[in-house]
């Protein structure tokens, strides 16, 4: 735009004055000077005419009516709340002078605000097939396991009943586990292996120590069994030669047996006495 | 003009989780936002989608609105304008420059611009004529550059004052006035050219 001055108005000021003139802000001398400039200036004159024409064209544009579904769609995509219910709330809140939402409404709004983006994603068609398949798999699995939705109605939720159900289920699981053929076979194998291994390991450590000191080359006598190998083993016994019967009774019979046998030949008093041999059957239980 | 106190209260209720307050906001501003989107995008379907996006964005950022910084309508218009500019940039590759012979109107039965102008005098009903003129101007408006178009829409169709437009567009008031004048002049030239071709 050339910087030309005519009637006190410069061309570079024309833009500002043009808006003011069209808006009716220019008055008096300023407005006269502006109109005089438009009449004389070859650039600003046609510009003014064009701008005025354009403004008049735009006046023909009336507001368009938004689609009826727009509000519903907006509310569904933001709050996801039923609009009918909201309308009732709006009319109710208009009557009230001051509005204070209850904690329940605030909690609901917070929860719906948090869930809405997730729910919006879930509702996308690309996830629909996945959820369908998951639901189908779950229903097949439940029917295979014998769970019927109708049975859920008859479930008692008393603590005693729940405990009873728990123990019943546990017993059923244990029974089922133990009755599995594979488990049974494994257990029997383990038992068999144990039977084979236990005799070799049975000897205690103390006895092994005695073996080292044993130079007799005799077979080991098991001390935990009876002294006699069987019930018919003979044990020699004789009448005591000591001063009294009580003395002989105080002695250990086993040791007494061996002492009597040894002392019989050495003691001169005993040589004239008749030897009485008594055979006893001793049984150690 | 919006009552600042009432709107601020409405926004506070909405931020507190009052769904009814949010519906009130949607009911109040959906027409304005839809019209801005329709005039800028040029198509009814695009306008509906964009208006929905504007409200979703508004719903998410409502807590950031500060009534001391400006009017709610300016804030709403700024969000709308930013989203429209983003949409314009995204669809720049797909957009074709329509000639006046192309049917740019959103309506299915819309005729090419030259035919609309040719038949302008024909319809006996003034209401029908007015609607067709409106569609012609709408088609011409869609041919303006985005910078001029948004300035003209905000001033002549949304009746925002220069300061509000300057806030929304983030440019000085002088630039706003200049853009509005250039937009109006360009629109008039487009329509005059079309008339001349038809005549």
Q: Answer whether B164's CB lies under 8 Å from B145's CB.
A: no
Could you tell me the CA-to-CA distances from A87 to A98, A185, B77 in Å, in that order?
18, 72, 26
pLDDT at A24: 84
**pLDDT category of residue A97 using cuts at 50, 70 and 90:** very low
Q: Answer whether B116's CB lies under 8 Å from B90's CB.
A: no
Locate A152 and state its tokens. 């859920």
Res. A151: pLDDT tops 70:
yes
Residues of chain A numbered 62-101 and touching chain B (CB < 8 Å): 62-67, 70-71, 73-75, 77-79, 81, 83, 86-87, 89-90, 93, 99, 101
List the domain range (segments joined by +) for residue B51. 1-95
User: From CA B95, how far away is CA B86, in angstroms rounded?
Assistant: 14
* Residue B128 forms part of a structural domain: no
The residue ranking higher by pLDDT, B198 or B68, is: B68
Say if residue B76 is exposed, middle or buried (CB neighbours under 10 Å; 0-12, 13-18, 19+): buried
The total domain count for chain B is: 1
User: From CA A164, how far away is CA B128, in angstroms rounded?
Assistant: 81
List of chain A residues whose C-beta atoms are within 8 Å of the C-beta of residue B40: none
pLDDT at B172: 93
Q: Search chain A and give the residue with CA nearest B106.
A: A64
**A61/B157 touch (CB, cutoff 8 Å), yes or no:** yes
**pLDDT category of residue B105 using cuts at 50, 70 and 90:** very low
Q: Which of B76, B185, B191, B195 to mutate to test the interface with A (most CBs of A within 10 A)?
A: B185
User: From CA A89, how far away is CA A87, in angstroms rounded?
Assistant: 5
* Residue B196 forms part of a structural domain: no
pLDDT at A143: 86
The residue ranking higher by pLDDT, B88 or A95, is: B88
**A57/B31 touch (CB, cutoff 8 Å), yes or no:** no
Name the β-bridge partners of A111.
Answer: none
* Residue B38 forms part of a structural domain: yes
Res. A216: pLDDT tops 80:
no
pLDDT digits (tens, 9 = 90+) for A112-135: 777 776 776 677 677 778 888 999
- Tokens 């006699």 locate to A228
Nearest to A70 among B48, B187, B189 (CB): B48
**pLDDT category of residue A5 using cuts at 50, 70 and 90:** low
Q: Answer whether A49's CB lies under 8 Å from A61's CB.
A: no
Please tell me the least confidently modeled range out of A109-113, A277-281, B142-146: A277-281
**A67/B26 touch (CB, cutoff 8 Å), yes or no:** no
User: What mean pLDDT value characterizes chain A?
Assistant: 70
**What backbone phi and psi angles, to 5 degrees, belong to A278?**
-120, 125
**What backbone phi and psi angles, to 5 degrees, belong to A236?**
-80, 140
Chain A: closest CA distance from residue B126 (Å): 12
pLDDT digits (tens, 9 = 90+) for B141-182: 888 999 999 999 999 888 888 999 999 999 999 899 999 999
* Residue B186 forms part of a structural domain: no
Q: Which of B19, B22, B165 to mutate to test the interface with A (most CBs of A within 10 A)?
A: B19
Q: Which of B23, B128, B158 to mutate to test the interface with A (most CBs of A within 10 A)?
A: B23
User: From CA A8, how far away is CA A30, in angstroms rounded?
Assistant: 9
CATH code for the domain of B16: 1.10.1740.10
Residue % of chain B over a pLDDT of 90 = 25
**pLDDT category of residue B102 using cuts at 50, 70 and 90:** very low
* Residue B80 forms part of a structural domain: yes
List of chain B residues whose C-beta atoms are within 8 Å of the C-beta of residue A51: 181, 184-185, 188
pLDDT at A234: 55
User: What mean pLDDT value characterizes chain B?
Assistant: 80
**What backbone phi and psi angles, to 5 degrees, belong to A22?**
-70, -30
Average pLDDT value for residue range B19-48: 89
* Residue B66 forms part of a structural domain: yes
**pLDDT category of residue A78 using cuts at 50, 70 and 90:** confident
Axis-axis angle for helices A14-23, A28-40 (nearest 10): 120
Chain B: closest CA distance from residue A106 (Å): 5
pLDDT at A22: 86
**pLDDT category of residue B63 using cuts at 50, 70 and 90:** confident
Average pLDDT value for residue range A160-181: 86
């Amino acid at each position: 735009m050339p910087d030309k001055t005519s009637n006190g108005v410069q061309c570079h000021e024309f833009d500002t004055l043009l808006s003011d003139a069209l808006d009716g802000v220019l008055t008096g001398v300023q407005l006269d000077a502006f109109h005089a400039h438009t009449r004389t200036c070859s650039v600003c004159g046609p510009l003014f005419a064009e701008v005025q024409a354009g403004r008049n064209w735009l006046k023909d544009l009336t507001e368009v009516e938004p689609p009826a579904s727009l509000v519903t769609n907006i509310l569904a995509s933001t709050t996801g709340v039923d609009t009918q219910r909201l309308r009732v709330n709006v009319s109710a809140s208009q009557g009230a002078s001051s509005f204070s939402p209850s904690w329940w409404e605030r909690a609901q709004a917070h929860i719906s605000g948090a869930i809405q983006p997730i729910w919006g994603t879930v509702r996308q068609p690309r996830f629909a097939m996945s959820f369908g398949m998951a639901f189908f798999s779950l229903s097949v699995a439940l029917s295979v396991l014998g769970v019927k939705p109708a049975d859920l109605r008859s479930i008692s939720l008393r603590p005693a009943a729940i405990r009873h159900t728990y123990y019943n289920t546990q017993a059923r699981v244990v029974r089922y586990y133990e009755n599995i053929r594979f488990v049974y076979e494994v257990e029997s194998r383990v038992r068999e292996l144990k039977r084979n291994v236990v005799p070799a390991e049975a000897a205690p450590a103390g006895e092994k120590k005695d073996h080292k000191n044993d130079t007799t080359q005799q077979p080991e006598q098991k001390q935990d069994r009876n002294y006699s190998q069987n019930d018919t083993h003979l044990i020699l016994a004789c009448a005591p030669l000591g001063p009294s019967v009580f003395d002989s009774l105080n002695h250990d019979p086993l040791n007494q047996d061996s002492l009597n046998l040894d002392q019989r030949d050495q003691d001169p008093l005993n040589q004239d006495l008749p030897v009485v041999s008594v055979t006893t059957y001793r049984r150690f239980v | 003009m919006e009552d600042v106190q009432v709107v601020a209260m409405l926004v506070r209720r909405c931020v507190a989780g009052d769904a009814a307050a949010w519906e009130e906001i949607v009911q109040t501003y959906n027409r304005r936002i839809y019209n801005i989107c329709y005039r800028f995008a040029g198509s009814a379907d695009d306008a509906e989608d964009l208006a929905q996006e504007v409200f979703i964005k508004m719903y998410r950022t409502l807590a950031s609105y500060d009534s001391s910084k400006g009017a709610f309508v300016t804030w709403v218009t700024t969000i709308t304008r930013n989203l429209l500019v983003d949409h314009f940039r995204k669809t720049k590759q797909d957009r074709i420059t329509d000639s006046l012979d192309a049917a740019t109107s959103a309506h299915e039965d819309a005729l090419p611009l030259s035919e609309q102008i040719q038949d302008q005098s024909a319809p006996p009903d003034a209401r029908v004529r007015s609607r067709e003129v409106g569609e012609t101007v709408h088609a011409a408006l869609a041919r303006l550059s985005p910078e001029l178009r948004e300035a003209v829409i905000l001033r002549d169709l949304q009746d925002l004052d220069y300061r509000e437009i300057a806030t929304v567009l983030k440019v000085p008031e002088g630039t706003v006035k200049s853009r509005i004048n250039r937009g109006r002049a360009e629109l008039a030239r487009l329509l005059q050219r079309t008339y001349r071709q038809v005549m």
